Amino acid sequence: MIGKCLCGAVEFEVAGEMPNLYQCHCSLCRKTTGAAANAATFIEQTHFEWLSGESSIRSYVKDSGFRSDFCGCCGSPVPNLLRDTGLYFLPVGLLEETKGFQVVQHLYTDSKAHWDVIGGSAEQHDEMPSLKALNEALQHSSSVS
Ligand SMILES: [Zn+2]
Ligand SMILES: [Zn+2]
């Protein structure tokens, strides 16, 4: 599956079955996306490949360690490798396909915007579960090791 930023400079490919998605409603994700929440998932490093534009990627890291990588040309958020995890954070709005994906986790619902109405039956967390627990919820049961 192919993903691209808005201008197309940054392009990547994800191999294998796509995991489920999460949305984070925290104030930082609102800023980085300009929207109510991000929509993202985690991809095994071995299933992820940059096709072009890696040199166009800029990175912003807050004092807290919160990091946002984005295309230096168009500003789209782009994937980044989560430290020591072997997982890429993947903003799924970049993917060329949308069929078959499902949001299964909502994070930081306690700090969501007042105008943000969360629908559907996905599990909601006041804050953030552990990365391990979150990733297990996202990966299809067949691929959880
Ligand atoms: Zn771009
Ligand atoms: Zn967030």
The full DSSP string for 93-141 is GGBS--TT--EEEEE-GGG--TT----SS-EE-SS---HHHHHHHHS-G
Distance 117 CA to ligand 2 centre (A): 16
Asked whether 102 and 84 are in contact (CB, 8 A), the reply is: no
Question: Residue 128 belongs to a domain with what CATH number?
Answer: 2.170.150.70
Task: Convert the pLDDT of each residue in 104-145 to its tens digit.
Answer: 999 999 999 999 999 999 999 999 999 999 999 999 754 444
Query: What is the per-residue pLDDT for 140?
Result: 76
Distance 66 CA to ligand 1 centre (A): 21
**What is the H or E stretch that residue 29 is in?**
helix 27-33
What global pTM score does this model have? 0.93
The predicted-structure confidence for 51-74, as pLDDT tens digits, reads as follows: 999 999 999 999 999 999 999 999
- Centre of ligand 2 from the C-alpha of residue 134, in Å: 13
pLDDT at 145: 42
CA of 44 to the centre of ligand 1 (A): 23
Q: Which ligand is nearest to the CA of 30?
A: 2
Q: How large is the C-alpha radius of gyration of the chain?
A: 15
Give residue 83's pLDDT. 86
pLDDT digits (tens, 9 = 90+) for 8-49: 999 999 999 999 999 999 999 999 999 999 999 999 999 999
Number of folded domains in the chain? 1
How many whole angstroms from 114 Cα to the centroid of ligand 1? Answer: 31
Range of the domain at 113: 2-143
Q: So what's the pLDDT on residue 117?
A: 97
* Ligand closest in space to the Cα of 6: 1
